[in-house]
Amino acid sequence: MKQNTIFKTFVSRFLILILNFGLVIYSTNMWGSSGKGVISIMIADLTIISFFANIFVGSSMSYFAKKFKIEEILPFAYIWAVLIGIFIPILFSFSHNAEYSYYLILLCVMSSLLTANINLFVGQQNIRMFNLYTVLQQVVHILFIVIIVYIIKITSVNAYFIAQISCFALLFVVSTIQVTKHIHFNTFSFTKKIGRQLFNYGWKTQLSAFLQFLNNRLSFYFLEYFKGIVSVGVFSVGVAFSEAVWTVSRSLSVVLYADVVNNTSSNDAIEKTKISLRISFLITLLFILVMLLIPAELYAVIFGKDFSQTKEIVLLLSPGILAIAVSNIIGYYFAGINKLRILNVKSLIGLVFTIVSSFYIIPKWGIHGACIVSSISYCLSSGLLFWRFYQITEFHVQDFILSRAEINLLWKKILRK
C-alpha cells in the first residue's frame, strides 16, 4: 500500500471532517434541534435508499472496474440508479411526511449517479479523483447553501436539500465527462452474464452495509417514536462526531480495498490490513481523547443551548466508535477477497441486539439509552469480525502500535506537506 496515497486520502478525509463539522454547527444554529432532526431523518432515508442503489453503483463498480469494460458495467449502474431513486422514495412517501418526497427523489437519483462514477475511480485505483470528489461534495454543498440562503433568500430547512441536490447534479455532470471521455456511447451493451455478476456481488456487500447502517440509525427512529423529533436532533450531533472520526478508518479502508481487489498475494494483503489497523486505532483513539477533553459548556456554545448533552453522548458512544473504526479496516479486507458472509453475520448480530434492547432501554433512558444501545451493538459486531480475522492470522499487540520507523515516516510526510 503506497504510504503517499494513504497520507493524501487521510488529509482529504480530515478536511471533510472539518467541513462536515462546520455544516453541523451551521445547521444546528440556523434551524435548531427541530430542523436538525428533519435533516437527520431525511439523510437517514437517503442512506437507506442508497443501499438498494449501491447494488449496482457501489462496490460492484469498484470490484469489476478492471475485470470488464466500462461500457459493459456503466449502463447497468445508471439505469438502476434512476429506477431505484424514483421508485423507493415513492414507497417511502406512504409512511413518511410527503412534504419532502420530491427532494428525496432528486437526492437519491443524483447521489446514486455520482456514486457510480466515484466508485469507478476506486476500481481503477485512481484514488486521487476519489479524494477530490469526496471533498468537493462538502465544499460545493456549503457554497450552494451560502448562495441559496444569502443570495436567493430561501432560509427554511429546504435550503439544505436544494443545495445538496444542486451539488450532486453539478459533480455528476463534471465526473461523467471525465469517466466517458475515453469511451464510445455506441459500444454500450447489456450482457445478462455481466449484469448477474454485478448483482450477485452487489447485493451481498450491500446486505452487510445495510444491516450495519440499521445498527447505526435505528436509534433515530426509536427516539423519534418514543421521545420526539427534537431528541433525534440532539442525538444526531453526537452521532455526527462518531461518523466524523470514522472518516479516518474509511479513508484507509478505501485505499486498502482498491489494493486488495487488485492484489494476488494473500500475505501481502494481510500485512497491509495490519498496517491500516495500527494507523486507524491510534488516530481514532487520539480524536476521542480530544473530544472528551472539550468542556461540555463549549459544545453548547458551538451548537446551541439545546445541545448541552453532546459531551455525555460522545463519552457513552466512544467504546463503540473505537471498535467500529478498527473493524471497518477488517471488513474491507474481507470484502476485497470476496468473503462476504462474515460481514453479514456480524452486522446481523449487532442489529438483533439493537432492535431487542431499544424497546426496553430507549423509552426508559431516552438519548442516553440510545447511546448505550449503539455502543454495545458496535462492540458486539466488531468483536466477531476481530475473532474471524485473527483466526486466519496471528494476533500481536504490535498490530495496534506504530513502530518507530512508521512514526518517523509519517512525521516526515507531514513536514514535507
Q: Is the pLDDT of residue 384 over 80?
A: yes
Residue 33 near residue 234 (C-beta atoms within 8 A): yes
Query: What whole-number distance in Å separates Cα of residue 326 and Cα of residue 378?
Result: 11
Task: Name the residue with cell 447494488.
Answer: 55
Q: Is the pLDDT of residue 209 over 60?
A: yes
pLDDT, residue 1, reads 47
Query: What whole-number distance in Å separates Cα of residue 341 and Cα of residue 390?
Result: 16
* Closest among 354, 288, 293 to 323, alpha carbons compared: 288
Q: How many helices (H) and strands (E) does the chain have?
A: 13, 0
How confident is the prediction for the chain on average, in pLDDT? 81
Q: Is the pLDDT of residue 172 over 90?
A: yes
pLDDT, residue 81, reads 92
Task: Name the residue with cell 447521489.
Answer: 111
pLDDT in tens, 101-145: 888 899 999 999 999 999 888 877 787 888 888 889 989 999 999
Q: Is the pLDDT of residue 356 over 50?
A: yes
How many other β-carbons are positioned within 10 Å of the β-carbon of residue 394? 7
- Looking at per-residue pLDDT, the higher value among 388 and 240 belongs to 388
By residue count, the chain amounts to 417
pLDDT, residue 151, reads 93
Band (pLDDT 50/70/90 cuts) for residue 402 is low
How many other β-carbons are positioned within 10 Å of the β-carbon of residue 125? 18
How many CA atoms does the CB half-sphere of 145 hold within 13 Å? Answer: 20
For 217-240, letters b (16+ CB in 10 Å) and e give bbbbebbbebbebbbbbbbbbbbb
Q: Is the pLDDT of residue 417 over 50?
A: no
Q: Of the spans 4-8, 121-125, 190-194, 373-377, which averages the highest pLDDT?
A: 373-377
Domain residues of the chain, as ranges?
3-416
Q: Is the pLDDT of residue 88 over 50?
A: yes
Query: What whole-number distance in Å separates Cα of residue 56 and Cα of residue 200?
Result: 10
- Looking at per-residue pLDDT, the higher value among 247 and 314 belongs to 314
pLDDT, residue 185, reads 65
First to last CA, the chain: 19
Q: Is the pLDDT of residue 410 over 60?
A: no
pLDDT in tens, 159-171: 999 999 999 999 9
Residue 335 near residue 257 (C-beta atoms within 8 A): yes
| DSSP calls for 265-303 | -HHHHHHHHHHHHHHHHHHHHHHHHHHHHS-HHHHHHHH
Q: If DSSP codes are grouped into helix, strand and coil, which group holds residue 109?
A: helix
